[in-house]
């Protein structure tokens, strides 16, 4: 499987708002580095899977989840710059997610790790 095998995000209004918060946090972490359309789609879909799983408990996980997503944005931007990319690619994003969540044990990180493994991305 590849990132293209991920189901498209389909969430209700609440999940859309939560995902929007996450994507803003990612953008803040990326600090002005452009993000490819493929990477945006991948991020929306992979983070969307997790959002749908934790949306009913979002107040409990919000701060730590947004901090992780910001860190993923920072790592993806750093990876893109390190590879000489003008924008964050799916490869940069996948590598950043793996680096950031590898040893974390929060529920959102464990769910993200599960989906990354399920789709053969780590």
- The predicted-structure confidence for 9-67, as pLDDT tens digits, reads as follows 777 788 899 999 999 999 999 998 999 999 999 999 999 999 999 999 999 999 999 99
Q: What is the pLDDT of residue 4?
A: 67
Q: Among residues 60, 57, 71, which one has the least CA distance to residue 22?
A: 71
For residue 1, pLDDT over 90 is answered with no
Name the one residue in this structure whose structure tokens are 């934790």.
54
Please indicate, yes or no, if residue 18 is contained in any of the structural domains: no
Q: What is the pLDDT of residue 55?
A: 92
Please indicate, yes or no, if residue 20 is contained in any of the structural domains: no
Alpha helix stretches (DSSP H) within 4-122: 13-30, 37-54, 58-82, 90-101, 107-118
Please give the residue range of the domain that contains residue 73: 32-118
Instruction: State the Cα–Cα distance between residues 83 and 119, nearest whole angstrom.
Output: 24
Q: What is the mean pLDDT of the chain?
A: 90
Task: Give the total number of structural domains in the chain.
Answer: 1
């Amino acid at each position: 499987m590849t990132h293209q095998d991920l189901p498209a995000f389909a969430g209700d209004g609440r999940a859309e708002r939560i995902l929007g918060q996450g994507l803003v946090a990612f953008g803040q972490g990326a600090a002005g580095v452009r993000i490819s359309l493929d990477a945006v789609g991948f991020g929306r879909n992979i983070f969307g899977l997790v959002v749908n799983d934790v949306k009913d408990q979002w107040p409990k996980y919000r701060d730590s989840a947004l901090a992780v997503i910001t860190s993923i944005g920072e790592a993806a931007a750093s990876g893109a710059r390190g590879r000489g990319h003008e924008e964050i690619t799916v490869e940069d994003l996948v590598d950043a997610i793996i680096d950031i969540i590898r040893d974390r044990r929060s529920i959102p990180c464990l769910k993200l790790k599960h989906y990354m493994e399920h789709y053969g991305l780590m």
